[in-house]
Amino acid sequence: MMNNNMNSPEQISTNKLEYDVLVIGGGIAGQEASLNLANNGFKVLMVEKDLSIGGKMIHLSKVFPTLDCSACIATPKISETARNPNITIMTYSEVEDIKRNGNGLKAMVIEKPRYVKADLCTGCPICEEKCPVVVEDEYNYGLTGRKAAFIPFDLASPRIAAIDIENCTLCGACERACPPNAIDFSMEKKEFELSVKSVIIATGFELFPAEKKKEYGFGQFKNVIHSMQMDRLLAPTRPFNNVLRPSDGRMPDNIAYVLCTGSRDLSVGNPICSQICCMYSIKQAQLLLGALPMTDVTIYYIDIRAFGKGFDEFYEQGKSMGVEFIKGKIAKIEEKENGNLTLKYEDFENGGKTVEADHDLVVLSVGILPNKDVSGFFKSEPIALDIHQYVKQEDELMSPAKTSIEGVFVAGTSSGPMDIPDSILSAGAASAEAAAFIRSLK
Amino acid sequence: MTEEKKKQLTVTLMKEKRTVPDEVKEKSKKFVRMRKAIKASLKEGPKSIPQLVEEMKLPTDVVTYYVMSLRKFGDIAVGELDEDDEYYSYELPKK
Ligand SMILES: Cc1cc2nc3c(=O)[nH]c(=O)nc-3n(C[C@H](O)[C@H](O)[C@H](O)COP(=O)(O)OP(=O)(O)OC[C@H]3O[C@@H](n4cnc5c(N)ncnc54)[C@H](O)[C@@H]3O)c2cc1C
Ligand code: SF4
Ligand code: SF4
């Protein structure tokens, strides 16, 4: 279990904050940028919107192409970030209105109430056991429920509870049961005025909402799931006891992947390639063949983009393990009475004729979209976005982290689709550019 | 709980500020009902999701969702996989 962050805002006694760098977002890119700066003596404030840092990576099963356990790599880094004396982390907080302030920048940071005192909560989790309300668990993408008093997820950092006030019946069971009296419904939002010399945007990406591709039936057919749900089903901290169908808990034996769901698709307003879906789908297919040896896995693709180091070999490895690849475009998915699904597709290798195939679980390999929060940070001096609404890199070749605002840099998938190694590289560039910028002010 | 501790509960302050929506009350009732029904049924012995569905006369996806949630909360445990490698059984946790 990870220790709770020692530098939490509970220790901050004033509402005026001063740091060298504000890092917005605590995913892998935000952590890497913060650690680089902190280890070079800069004071960093990391502001994370969620109840825990970790971003998407902490929820993944394994990572392509090495198939290392994702949490095993992510957890030590999260711990290192949380314990670094030069990094202060504010979770469940948001940044508003970043403005120029002489040589530096100032901003408002708003910390929302979690109704649990961070310095008292031990993560026991008695409140969770006592709470009588169950709602969809967002960290398992709705596959299971969670309580209204809840620890976000097993590997959360800080590992402390929160109360989902919107779904709370105010029964008081959690407060009565909490041994250290950590639950406090009188908590209110707090506002902080922040001065910094530089800002790094590391707010990551959004998943393409699969329900937008109506013809695939996501949200309507229980056995059509998206790839992040499958990564959860394959993770050691998985929501089910194995990879099972959400419709009836049966082990699937004939799984289909639909690549490019919501990518390279003008009909849903996202014309670009998401760069990661081919590889994470091949990763999941290999993991499925390991977890369910009797299962067939078919990947329907338009073309496989295996351009990175070791990627083509990873694709070949998938084929040799028995993953079937069909070059075809899925036009429609229909549900049968037993929850199985019929895929109607244009078979590119057979003259484009329409073919039907049955599967008992379908995974939509959803693409990634820009995080629209970024524009909201800069109301008085808007930040430039590229034509796809990612943060614009002003000098992609020579200074890849530079944005349109002096002193503001970008890291990871905030500037475009990329995998974990590239997000780390990009965070390295952002921290180096921010450090050089701060030194130039002296 | 003493009268004094009851008075100190901060949830009473929140009750003055917020009204609980009916749908939240309904969610709570539904979970408590489902937990009771699934646990009562499993008292008779381990059962698979189709067996629970048959008994409870509820949609299979609804039963699956609650069985998986109860497993996550530690209210029920996983038993054996059937001979056809299709369905697991679920049971009350061994004390
Ligand atoms: C299904 C799936 C499988 C994948 N598998 C792999 C794999 O095997 N290998 C691989 O290399 N890559 C994989 N990826 C890609 C990988 O997830 C990303 O490359 C990586 O997570 C990018 O990190 P990031 O820090 O840029 O963004 P994120 O992980 O999105 O982190 C962004 C952080 O910023 C926070 N944030 C957002 N908005 C705000 C705000 N307004 N204020 C404050 N904080 C905010 C978020 O809560 C989050 O903590 C996969 C992606 C998906 C969808
Ligand atoms: S709030 Fe109290 S009961 Fe809940 S996890 Fe923290 S210490 Fe335990
Ligand atoms: S007060 Fe709210 S969060 Fe606490 S146990 Fe009751 S419903 Fe759950």
For chain A, the structural domain boundaries read 1-111+190-204+371-442, 113-188, 209-368
The residues, any chain, with a CB within 8 Å of residue B19's CB and separated by 6 or more, are: none
Residue A140 in this model has a pLDDT that exceeds 90: yes
User: What is the arithmetic mean of pLDDT over A50-78?
Assistant: 97
Q: Amino acid letter at A335?
A: E
Q: Do domains A1-111+190-204+371-442 and A209-368 have the same CATH topology?
A: yes
Report the topology of domain A209-368.
Answer: FAD/NAD(P)-binding domain (3.50.50)
Report the topology of domain A113-188.
Answer: Alpha-Beta Plaits (3.30.70)
Q: Are β-strands A205-207 and A224-226 bridged in parallel, bridged antiparallel, or unpaired?
A: unpaired
Residues of B in contact with A128 (CB under 8 A): 73
What are φ and ψ of residue A42, in 5° steps?
-85, 145
User: What is the arithmetic mean of pLDDT over A210-228?
Assistant: 97
Which residue bears the tokens 């840092």? A53
In a domain, B36, yes or no: yes
> Which residues have C-beta atoms less than 6 Å from ligand 1?
A 24-30, 47-50, 55-57, 60, 63-64, 94-95, 202-205, 207, 227-228, 231, 276, 280, 283, 371, 373, 412-413, 418-421, 423
* Residue-number span of the structural domain to which B14 is assigned: 8-40
Residue A1 has a pLDDT of 29
Shortest-distance atom of ligand 2 to CA A180: 7
Q: What is the ipTM of this complex?
A: 0.94
In a domain, B22, yes or no: yes
Chain mean pLDDT for chain A: 94
In a domain, B45, yes or no: no
Q: Which of A144, A238, A132, A241 is nearest to B35 (CA)?
A: A132
The residues, any chain, with a CB within 8 Å of residue A129's CB and separated by 6 or more, are: A177, B73
- What's the CA-to-centroid distance between A163 and ligand 3, angstroms? 7
Beta pairing partners, A352 = none
CA distance B67 to A273: 38
CATH value of A1-111+190-204+371-442 in 3.40.640.10, 3.40.1050.10, 3.40.50.300, 3.50.50.60: 3.50.50.60
In a domain, B3, yes or no: no
For residue B5, what pLDDT band results from cuts at 50, 70 and 90?
low
Strand locations in A269-396 (E): 296-301, 324-335, 341-347, 353-359, 361-366, 368-370
- What's the CA-to-centroid distance between A202 and ligand 1, angstroms? 9
In a domain, B88, yes or no: no
Q: Give A341 to chain B, closest Cα distance, Å.
A: 15
**Residue B60 contacts A where some CB pair is shorter than 8 Å:** yes
How many angstroms from the chain centroid is the CA of residue A350? 38
Q: Render pLDDT for A313-345 as a digit per residue (tens, 0 to 9).
A: 989 999 999 999 999 999 999 999 999 999 999
Contact B64 A246 (CB under 8 A): yes
- Count of domains in chain B? 1
Q: Can you give the pTM of this predicted structure?
A: 0.95
Length of chain A, please? 442
Q: Render pLDDT for B48-73 as a digit per residue (tens, 0 to 9).
A: 999 999 999 999 999 999 999 999 99
**Distances from the Cα of B33 to the Cα of A239, A283, A418, angstroms:** 22, 40, 45
Q: Render pLDDT for A267-304 as a digit per residue (tens, 0 to 9).
A: 888 888 888 999 999 999 999 999 999 999 999 998 88
Nearest to A143 among B11, B66, B68 (CB): B68
User: What is the arithmetic mean of pLDDT over A203-208?
Assistant: 97
Residue A14 has a pLDDT of 67
In a domain, B33, yes or no: yes
Q: Render pLDDT for A348-407 as a digit per residue (tens, 0 to 9).
A: 988 889 999 999 999 999 999 999 999 999 998 899 999 999 999 999 999 999 999 999
Burial A104-142 (b: 16+ CB within 10 A, else e): bbbbebebbbbbbbbeebebebbbbebbbbbbebebbbb
